[in-house]
Amino acid sequence: MLKKHLLLLLLISGLIFRIAISFNTYSGDVTNHMIWGEDAVKHGLPGYYERNFEKLYGHTSPNYPPLAILFFSFLYLIKEWIYQFAWFLNFHISFFPSNFIYFLKDFDYYPYLLKFPAIFSDIGIACITYLFAQKIVGKKKTKWPVIALLLVLFNPAYFYNSAYWGQTDSIPLFFLLTSFFLLIYRGKILTSTVLFTLGILSKQTVVIFIPLYLIILYRLISLKTLVKIFLVSLLVFWLFFLPFFRQGNLLTYPFTTYLNKILLSPGIPFTSNHAFNIWYLLTGSRLTLASSKFILNISHTMWGYLVTGFLSLLILFKLFRHSGEQSESRIVVVKNILYAGFLIPLASFLFLTKMHERHLILALPFLLLLTYNNKFLLVSYLFLSLFNFLNMYHNWWFPNIQILMFFLSSPLTIIFLTYTLIGVFILMLKNYFFIRNKQIKQI
């Protein structure tokens, strides 16, 4: 009973802390979300992805999938409903403070409402991490599941992203992590697949996990069932795009729109969109176009695809080969899945072009779940969390923390941090490929 109350108290503390800091400020990206949500409500969803937001508002056209747009528009409706409800109370309750109406009119609280889905997703990630950790330790009496929960709840890589900056990266990560948990430990294939699809529909960053997810599905179910599950996910995907359709081919519209308007959306066209990765070291941030030529007259973008694709294929091949061997214990298979779940997004962050500093967060929960009884991996997780926070802070400089600003203003600091991250990646690859499974400590 005490343990349950402690968990609830920790979760509530994490939630209150995030809400408290969320009203301080928000990043410029939130302005895009505000415009996208307001436009969806005022002008409707049909033809939404075909509108020229640059011409209409001077802001980026929507390059987020439908579920994110529905979140933004629903929260705009909530803002309007709050205002209308306040007027209703003002007219019907004599002692209702009329000045509150002026407060709601003058104070733009919409950007702060937009933070709530990511804030609650943070709490959800902490819960799923705890459940994952419980399964990993089994019946052993250890405080590690609670520690793992705390390493999400009060990790600046999470709360700075969601509650302070106002980004949405925690939303797809929650769907992704929950879908993996249900798939691996609960056997709820259909629910897991729907949640994974919702992750894809909330942000395109989840796409890099599709091959990994399919390999796990292939090992768990028959090919016939896999085809059925695939068709269900396609139906869910298609239905979410249906309200946005205006003209053209209804059957292909969701897929062409996702590919052209979301996945291949131009965005910021530089080799590194402030991510401290290999391209930041080679070309700097927002100095070199990703489409420009590099070695062998091949573009930076194509080199990013080639290196990341090659590394991902190696990682997935190792997982595919070993996960089918009957001699492999469930613990080792889960560990290999978590390793792949960590290494693929880290490789993407390091070698793909146009990467944002925020995208490293996708690797964090998988690494955290590997840290049980492994000090090196725990230190690596703490370093990656700090790295992720510092990379985000370097792009925004809020709040004003002089010591951090001084520390991160030195190019040598960035070089040191980035080379250290590359070193961690290389060591983790070595662990994944070259340490025999029987030598790996059970998690």
Q: What is the spatial distance between Cα 347 and Cα 425, in angstroms, rounded to a whole number? A: 8
Q: What is the spatial distance between Cα 30 and Cα 34, in angstroms, rounded to a whole number? A: 6
Bond into 243 cis (ω within 30): no
pLDDT of residue 28: 86
C-alpha torsion sign, points 218, 220, 225, 230: negative
Q: Which domain holds residue 435?
A: 266-443
Cα distances (angstroms) measured from residue 99 to each of 15, 80, 113, 340, 355: 29, 17, 21, 56, 46
Do the domain assignments include residue 134? no
SS3 273: strand
- When divided into structural domains, the chain yields a total of 1
pLDDT of residue 441: 44
Do the domain assignments include residue 319? yes
Whether the CB-CB separation of 349 and 359 falls below 8 Å is answered with yes
pLDDT of residue 314: 96
Cα distances (angstroms) measured from residue 203 to each of 62, 80, 175, 179, 228: 12, 26, 10, 15, 24
Do the domain assignments include residue 254? no
Tell me, yes or no, if the pTM score tops 0.75: yes
Whether the CB-CB separation of 197 and 231 falls below 8 Å is answered with no
Q: Which two tokens stand for residue 142?
A: 């250890």
In sequence order, what are the beta bridge partners of 270? Answer: 289
In sequence order, what are the beta bridge partners of 355? Answer: 272
Q: Which two tokens stand for residue 246?
A: 């205006």
Q: What is the spatial distance between Cα 195 and Cα 233, in angstroms, rounded to a whole number? A: 9
Q: Which residues of the chain have pLDDT under 70?
A: 1-4, 323-328, 435-443
Do the domain assignments include residue 404? yes
Quickly tell me which residue has 């992805």 as its tokens. Answer: 49
Do the domain assignments include residue 423? yes
C-alpha torsion sign, points 64, 70, 75, 81: positive
Residues in the chain: 443
SS3 293: strand
pLDDT of residue 163: 97
Do the domain assignments include residue 170? no
SS3 323: helix
Q: Which residues have CB under 8 Å from 270's CB, separation 6+?
A: 283, 285, 286, 287, 288, 289, 290, 353, 354
> Of 49, 75, 68, which Cα lies nearest the Cα of 202?
68
Q: What is the spatial distance between Cα 156 and Cα 385, in angstroms, rounded to a whole number? A: 7
Do the domain assignments include residue 246? no
Do the domain assignments include residue 195? no
C-alpha torsion sign, points 68, 72, 78, 84: negative
